[in-house]
Structure 1
Amino acid sequence: MFTYEMPTKLYFGKGCVAQSVADMAALGKKALIVTGRSSAKRNGSQDAVVAVLESAGLGWVLFDEVEANPSVEIVRNGAELGRKEQVDFVIGIGGGSPMDAAKVIALLCTNDLDDEILFTGPYGAPPLPIVTVPTTSGTGSEVTKISILTNHKAGTKQGVKSPMLYPKLSLADPSFTMGVPEHVTIDTAIDALSHAIEGYMAKDATPVSDVWAEEALRFFGLHLTQLRGTLSYAVREDLMYASTLAGIVISQAGTTLVHGMGYCLTYYKGFSHGRANGLLLPQYMKLMEESMADKAQRVWELLGFAGSDDFEAFMKDLMPDTVTLSEEEIEKFTTMVMKTASVKATSYDVTAGVVARIYAHISK
């Protein structure tokens, strides 16, 4: 027995934002646009969204203060603006950070939640309708029911998760990713790859989510060796397609140990989310070769690798980053990870020793 839910209406392809006028108008009279400081302005996505709003006679207000790894404090600021301006819906434009922030801002516009309830629920009222416009090919947040925030009180990144956070509308135009820098292209692609792999391997994987995971992995296999340098629109389109599919996968099956361990590397060691995942994926796949040999072999077939050693060599070349972890840090991070849901979601008997061993392996 399994369930499948994907209530987001998705437009995908060049120029798709302009096709959403009627859908946008159905959401209300005034929008809160949530972005970072500059990228949505540079890549044309903000102008495209504003053009649609204004052609439909809709009002809008801008909140462009979202930082990388958005904090609880920043989404509260955004929600305060949204309530003050009496907006009817929220549009998140950008990578995972603005889209994740937009989801929680929409929730906080309709719910008065303290920090504890924010991360656990329950939520009394549904959020304002959410629209997502991805400008990177990585998080898949445009089609998920999850938002990841930095919780400084807890000293880590944590998830806000509810079916109510599914966007009503997602507008995925790969042309907005054409100017993404090489390091961001790599980071986001590996983040999306980890979604496809972890969702495929997760205990909660279903026959339907596996179909999307294999399709995503097939497209990643076409382009993993092409992430450096100038990328054509066709490659950018394939990467966004794979990333969106991987988002659908984790919206059904969730993420596993890679994400649970990676959050510590991001919060305490300053690694981007994709880089953190990239450091951890090869050792994670060694576990999967033990516990899920058939699926692990299928991953290697789709990606074009001989096995985990071959994959690790590729990842070290693609992401030659190193991290130094003291024994105290390994112990601290391991204790934190063992308390997360990512451990139980993993198709392996994850012990503190397993987590510590992986951290030690990537430490130089």
Structure 2
Amino acid sequence: MKGFTIKTEIEEYDTFEQYAAQADLGPQDLVLCGEHTYDKYVAPLSLSVQTLFREKYGKGEPTDGMVDAILDALRKKEFNRIIAIGGGTVVDIAKVVAVAGKEDKVDDLYDNVDKLKKVHPLVIIPTTCGTGSEVTNISVINRVSKGVKMGLASNAMLADKAVMITNMLDSLPYKIFSTSSIDAMVHSVESFLSPNGCSISRIFSTEALKTIIQCWKKSVEAGGGDAWKTCAADFLKASNWAGLGFGYAGCAAVHACAYPLGSVYHIPHGQSNQLMFKDVMEKYKQIQPTGRINDLEDIIAECLGVTQSEALTALYELMDKVLKKEPLRNFGVKESDLPVFAGDVIKTQQRLLKNNYIQLSEEQVLEIYKAAY
């Protein structure tokens, strides 16, 4: 078994201004973020940093074309640290930029993943409470040219520092909060169930899951909407802990089945996970009802004040109050897509499927899609 290590230094601040003063940001730093984030948090401090605004190169989650355009734009720039401030898209892009040489394109990095080396020091400041990827070695790119959404994983892409700043969540819209916190919850569950976890990784997965469920419950009971912001610091920490859990143990079938939904229909990543979560878990329970999944049910039951047998159903009901689950057909997914998706998952997502609670055949993956449809 590999040893559990945390290679990224984790810092915590209340405000971006506190971090900027400590970090001595200056002309050799490249701030990679969205323009709105820059205007709200960075510009008022009059820092002499270089900038790259990701929306100038495309919208939505990162594609190979978007990232190649960014790499082209940076070829003549000279900079040292990358300061990535954003959600999953910004973080995934920044990890690629951190390991890309002057002539590299996205395909070169996938083709030479075992040889990747860090070119620029990387600092990641998350502005959502979901990805946890500030402490993982994975970047997920939609390789449109190849028709598949794939993870690029290398320890060279681990951030040197992950900086948790509570006020970065101040302007987070409810929809992004809901989808990102669901993503973090799925990270915690999949890494807890993963056969590739260990006792230490499960501590992070467990605490992340407990915190998210308890904060969801508190927010819903307070009337929903922006009530979640009273728990913003806890959601941010839980996302980070879930990242540490899945950074070691991996994600599994929920993420694997969600990827085609994002790649083909551009459904936000966290929502794609929500659409698949219940049906993957029910398939797990159908095939192997006893095992670590019962330990998971015990954790959920304790948080929600229900019995073990009621736990998963109670979690689904709470999730629906955070963001209502809808059938795949409501997003334009065609029934004819389902066998194609199932085949693609088996063919292209073995990196994730090896972390399943139990292994799934292509037929069983198709049954999951049909149940979600």
User: TM-score scaled by structure 1?
Assistant: 0.88
Describe the shift of the 1:264–1:114 C-alpha distance in structure 2 as closer, same or farther (beyond 3 A).
closer
Provide the residue aligned with 1:357 in structure 2: 367
Question: Contact (CA 8 Å) 2:35, 2:53: kept in 1 or not?
Answer: no
Question: Contact (CA 8 Å) 1:119, 1:160: kept in 2 or not?
Answer: no
1:263 to 248, 259, 266: 259
Q: Distance in 1 between matches of 2:54 and 2:273?
A: 27
Provide the residue aligned with 1:247 in structure 2: 243
Shift of 1:308: 2.5
Q: Distance in 2 between matches of 1:17 and 1:158?
A: 35
Q: Distance in 2 between matches of 1:122 and 1:96?
A: 23
Within a 5 Å distance, the mapping from 1:227-242 to structure 2 comes to 228-231=224-227, 233-242=229-238
Shift of 1:16: 5.8
Q: Distance in 1 between matches of 2:365 and 2:116?
A: 37
Provide the residue aligned with 1:127 in structure 2: 119
Provide the residue aligned with 2:154 in structure 1: 162
Describe the shift of the 1:254–1:302 C-alpha distance in structure 2 as closer, same or farther (beyond 3 A).
farther
Provide the residue aligned with 2:280 in structure 1: 284
Provide the residue aligned with 2:31 in structure 1: 33
1:308 aligned onto 2:312 = yes
Provide the residue aligned with 2:54 in structure 1: 64
Q: Distance in 2 between matches of 1:114 and 1:78?
A: 10
Describe the shift of the 1:37–1:20 C-alpha distance in structure 2 as closer, same or farther (beyond 3 A).
closer
Describe the shift of the 1:114–1:314 C-alpha distance in structure 2 as closer, same or farther (beyond 3 A).
closer
Provide the residue aligned with 1:322 in structure 2: 327
The number of residue pairs the alignment matches comes to 353
User: TM-score scaled by structure 2?
Assistant: 0.86
Provide the residue aligned with 1:15 in structure 2: 15
**Secondary structure of 2:119's partner?**
coil
Shift of 1:314: 3.4
RMSD (CA atoms): 2.4
Q: Distance in 1 between matches of 2:191 and 2:160?
A: 23
Question: Contact (CA 8 Å) 1:99, 1:142: kept in 2 or not?
Answer: yes
Question: Contact (CA 8 Å) 1:72, 1:150: kept in 2 or not?
Answer: yes
Q: Deviations over 1:77-103 (max 9, x none)?
A: 222333311111212111111011111
Q: Distance in 1 between matches of 2:53 and 2:31?
A: 6
Structure 1 unaligned regions, length at least 5:
none
Provide the residue aligned with 2:295 in structure 1: 295
Structure 2 unaligned regions, length at least 5:
none
Q: Distance in 1 between matches of 2:156 and 2:71?
A: 17
Shift of 1:206: 1.1
